[in-house]
Amino acid sequence: MPALGLGVFQTPPDETRDAVTAALDAGYRHIDTAAAYGNEREVGEAIAASDVHRADVFIETKVWINDFGYAETLHAFEKSAGKLGVDQLDLLILHQALPGDFERTLEAYRALETLLADGKVRAIGVSNFMVEHLTALLDRATVVPALNQLEIHPYFQQNAAADFGAERGILPQAWSPIGGITFYRDSGHVNALEDPTIGAVAEKHGKSPAQVMLRWGLQHGRSVIPKSTKPHRIAENLDVFDFELSAEDLAALDGLETGKRGGPEPDAVTLETFSREIPEA
Ligand code: NDP
């Protein structure tokens, strides 16, 4: 899996094809979507229409909580693969745990294990799993999740969940890696892109604040999946392999932790509060 991919959360379906096309043209070979984003079909169309061979693009998508359960999650694969227009997914992950119904979460994961054994998916994983969720999962799972996609940016780093996973071979993958969640929701944060510490590091390297945050994530051994619909930003976000942050730079960003989550509390996610029916392919 390429460590850096394009995210498409909140990318409207009618802009998704152009965003994914711009990303493939810029050199991206990894796209992160989700059944709940409502744009899997457009992601698949952009990949199919591009000159890049399907086998060279890593497609990651997520099963929404309404589709948790063994039979339901097997069917969720059919819905996602159908919309994406592919026979096999590179990575299929559970979008959230359902802490109030963890048995159902485990049944969903068991379906992912079946899909992996059947060759329908090349890897399986989870998202927004805290230490207690990972512990409960590892207790029953036969396959260690390949990764755990978590809110990780300088203001909220989730070291406990990321390190617990990393020690067990579960790669941390950062969502909102440039702090998107800090400026499109009322999370009590200021915009991470306007942070003076990040700005100073960026200036020193002749790079942008977004590039510095992505480089910080990569140098900490994480995968990062920045979202943009703008071709110049899509290209900018991939242009992070020609500079290196010093230990001092990394420590400066590490020091920005606020302890304040931007996204939903994982334990507050229930079918009542976050229900969303996922249409058939
Ligand atoms: P990001 O940290 O990627 O930030 C995205 C925001 O930053 C957008 O508003 C974008 O605007 C803007 N932006 C992008 N590049 C730049 C740049 N170079 N300079 C200035 N602004 C920029 O946040 P996301 O929340 O979108 O997270 C990334 C991806 O992570 C999602 O798209 C999704 O794939 C995944 N995700 C997963 C979640 C989960 O629960 N598993 C939850 C949330 C996200 P514009 O488009 O106008 O450029």
Binding pocket residue ranges, ligand 1, CB within 6 Å: 7-9, 32, 95, 127-128, 149, 175-181, 184, 193, 208, 210, 225-230, 233, 236-237, 263
94: β partners: 63, 126
Catalytic residues: 37
Q: What is the pLDDT of residue 80?
A: 98
The answer to whether residue 185 is domain-embedded is yes
Mean pLDDT score of the chain, rounded to an integer? 97
Write the CATH number for 110.
Answer: 3.20.20.100
Q: Which amino acid is at 71?
A: A
**Mean pLDDT, residues 167-185:** 92
Of the pLDDT bands very low, low, confident and very high (cuts 50, 70, 90), residue 107 is: very high
Question: pLDDT per residue over 49-96, tens digit each?
Answer: 999 999 999 999 999 999 999 999 999 999 999 999 999 999 999 999
Q: 142 pLDDT exceeds 90?
A: yes
Structure-block tokens of residue 228: 């943009």
- Examine the pLDDT at 173 and tell me if it is beyond 70: yes
Closest CA to 68 of 93, 31, 87, 40: 93
121 forms beta bridges with: 89
User: Is residue 167 scored above 70 in pLDDT?
Assistant: yes
Residue 122's identity, in one-letter code, is R
The Å distance, Cα 229 to ligand 1 centre, comes to: 9
Q: How many domains does the chain have?
A: 1
pLDDT digits (tens, 9 = 90+) for 177-194: 999 988 777 667 789 999
**121 domain-assigned:** yes
Answer yes or no: is 83 within a domain.
yes
Closest ligand 1 atom, CA of 178?
A: 2
| pLDDT in the model for residue 186 | 67
The pLDDT assigned to 16 comes to 98
pLDDT in tens, 2-30: 999 999 999 999 999 999 999 999 999 99
Within-domain flag for 92: yes
Q: Find the mean pLDDT for residues 211-225.
A: 98
Structural domain boundaries enclosing 23: 6-274
Is 180 inside any structural domain?
Answer: yes
Task: Give residue 188's pLDDT.
Answer: 76
> Does any domain span residue 97?
yes
| The predicted structure's pLDDT at residue 6 | 98
Q: Record the pTM.
A: 0.98
CB 222 within 8 A of CB 167: no
Q: What is the DSSP string of 145-195?
A: -SEEEEE-BTTB--HHHHHHHHHTT-EEEEESTT-HHHHHS-SSPPPGGG-
